[in-house]
Amino acid sequence: MSVRIAELSSTSGVPVPTIKYYLREGLLPSGEPTGRNQAVYGEEHLRRLKLVRALVEVGGLSIAVVGEIVATLDASAEVTHHVLGVVQRSIAPVTPPVDDRDADAEVAAFLARRGWAHMARDPSVLALVGVVATANRLGHHRFADLLDGYAEANVAIARRDLDYLVLNSKPDEVVEDMVVATVLGDAALKALRRLAQREASAGLLAEE
Amino acid sequence: MSVRIAELSSTSGVPVPTIKYYLREGLLPSGEPTGRNQAVYGEEHLRRLKLVRALVEVGGLSIAVVGEIVATLDASAEVTHHVLGVVQRSIAPVTPPVDDRDADAEVAAFLARRGWAHMARDPSVLALVGVVATANRLGHHRFADLLDGYAEANVAIARRDLDYLVLNSKPDEVVEDMVVATVLGDAALKALRRLAQREASAGLLAEE
DNA sequence: CATTATTGGAGAGTGTCACTATCCGAATGG
DNA sequence: CCATTCGGATAGTGACACTCTCCAATAATG
């Protein structure tokens, strides 16, 4: 039940120096001290360690971002209200806002069509504007047309995400599960898009 | 029409030393030499430079991967058959295959339900197995249940992607446009998923 | 109880990556 | 004509994610 660092390392597969590094960076809480310089680690440390590794390796998140996320997890043990925004803000890579009037207008029009709130400071909206601006600069002036179809698909995806959380999460684990579902979901969706593209183009070629 | 490196830098916003770096790494073809140590750059260099920046900044791709992609672009100027796979293989981060029997079986079952080909060596399939394996290790044993819904949404997305390419691409630019649509699409989809999640959870809260 | 191994913690070191800075001698260009 | 700018090559920088080395204190073993 309570183990020391060597066993934490061997059961998780994470090298001891790396665990020490995570401890220094605050990604992992300290163990329970049993003496002046001894400590033991419990089930929650192993769980946290696996989460950190998943966020770093599968999600590609930086140590700094993972640090913010676990801080949020620790802070909101019982505050489950409006935590989605906090999680998203932590996960979103902070895009420096681009200054592109056209892209702004296209995204605003898209959000209006959808009936979605247009919060200009929202990281997701900023990211979207950045993508559209880049597309325009590359000569893809119809790229914004894709957004409506993408949005529709993502409404379905978000509904599945919420169902998944409601069905599978114990109340005190919703926040952590939301992080996991979001980050692993991103990776899964990316892979699935590749597979679906291949199938779709195979279908197209077969028709010819 | 033909400019030297300083003007290429000022019109693209990319610093001169960075352009030189890209030339060294083969991300950008050399300019047309006009003397022993002078060269001029044309429209295609500016276009390529903007593409490279988009892949690096929006797509988050490494210089090495961008190098592979532009090599593919240069090689397949006329070979547009079966290029999707090449592009995908270049874009996919090479996941070291994980050894997880359960995850393997779950992904295989999912692919069978979908009627999708199960190529064990496919990077997208490997990535998917990796994600499911990670989810299982984190205690999310129902994560694979999400895949069916995700896949359905991605079929719609892939259809839009192909429509977009068919409608908007000149035949000799399909490959480059495919790269752009794939990489920018990934970024856009990620942002849209966040927005859709927020809307969906706002809807849930409103019902309470 | 003696001795060998391991511990937590702190500091410095490593390898990689994406640039960035400096030099050089050869062209420009006003 | 002569300061600028050029291309090209070499070396240096800063951020990042570890990884190594040390230390005195503790634990495990015989």
Residue nearest to nucleotide C24 (CA to C1'): B37
Predicted confidence band of residue B82 (pLDDT cuts 50, 70, 90): low
C-alpha A123/C-alpha A92 separation (Å) is 7
C-alpha B179/C-alpha B58 separation (Å) is 12
B37 versus B51: the higher-pLDDT residue is B51
Quote the minimal CA–CA distance from A37 to chain B in Å: 30
Predicted confidence band of residue B44 (pLDDT cuts 50, 70, 90): very high
How many residues are listed for chain A in this entry?
208
Helix, strand or coil, per DSSP, at residue A33: strand
Tell me phi and psi for residue A172, to 5 degrees.
Answer: -80, 5
How many Å does it take to go from CA B198 to C1' C16? 37
Task: Please write the tens of the pLDDT for every residue from A148-178.
Answer: 999 999 999 999 999 999 898 888 788 888 8
Q: Does B112 touch chain A (CB under 8 A)?
A: no
Contact call for B158 and A204, based on CB within 8 A: no
B79 versus B55: the higher-pLDDT residue is B55
Contact between B140 and A165 under an 8 Å Cβ cutoff? The reply is no
Contact call for A160 and B151, based on CB within 8 A: no
C-alpha B65/C-alpha B123 separation (Å) is 14
* Cβ of A22 less than 7 A from strand C: no
Task: Please write the tens of the pLDDT for every residue from A55-107.
Answer: 999 889 999 999 988 988 888 655 555 556 666 766 766 677 788 999 999 99
Specify the DSSP class assigned to residue B39: E
Q: What angle do CA B124, A127, B58 make, to 5 degrees?
A: 50
Q: Which range among B6-20, B78-92, B187-201 shows the weakest confidence by mean pLDDT?
A: B78-92
Chain B, nearest residue to A181 by Cα: B143
Determine the pLDDT at residue A123: 87
Residue with tokens 């692993």: A184
B5-57 belongs to which CATH class? mainly alpha
Predicted confidence band of residue B200 (pLDDT cuts 50, 70, 90): confident
Quote the minimal CA–CA distance from B72 to chain A in Å: 18
Quote the minimal CA–CA distance from A93 to chain B in Å: 10
pLDDT over 70 percentage in chain A = 88
Residues of B in contact with A117 (CB under 8 A): 199
Q: Does B195 touch chain A (CB under 8 A)?
A: yes
Contact call for B188 and A146, based on CB within 8 A: yes
Q: Which range among A156-160, B72-76, B131-135, B197-201 shows the weakest confidence by mean pLDDT?
A: B72-76
Task: Please write the tens of the pLDDT for every residue from B155-184.
Answer: 999 999 999 998 988 887 888 888 899 999
- Segment A135-160 shows an average pLDDT of 95
How many Å does it take to go from CA A6 to C1' C3? 22
Q: Which of B116, B138, B145 sits opposite A51 (nearest CB)?
A: B138
* Cβ of B16 less than 7 A from strand D: yes
Domain ranges in chain A are 5-57, 91-207
Q: Does A97 touch chain B (CB under 8 A)?
A: no
Tell me phi and psi for residue B92, to 5 degrees.
Answer: -65, 125
C-alpha B180/C-alpha A143 separation (Å) is 10
Task: Please write the tens of the pLDDT for every residue from B84-125.
Answer: 666 676 666 667 778 899 999 999 999 999 999 888 888 899
Helix, strand or coil, per DSSP, at residue A23: helix
Residue type, A20: K
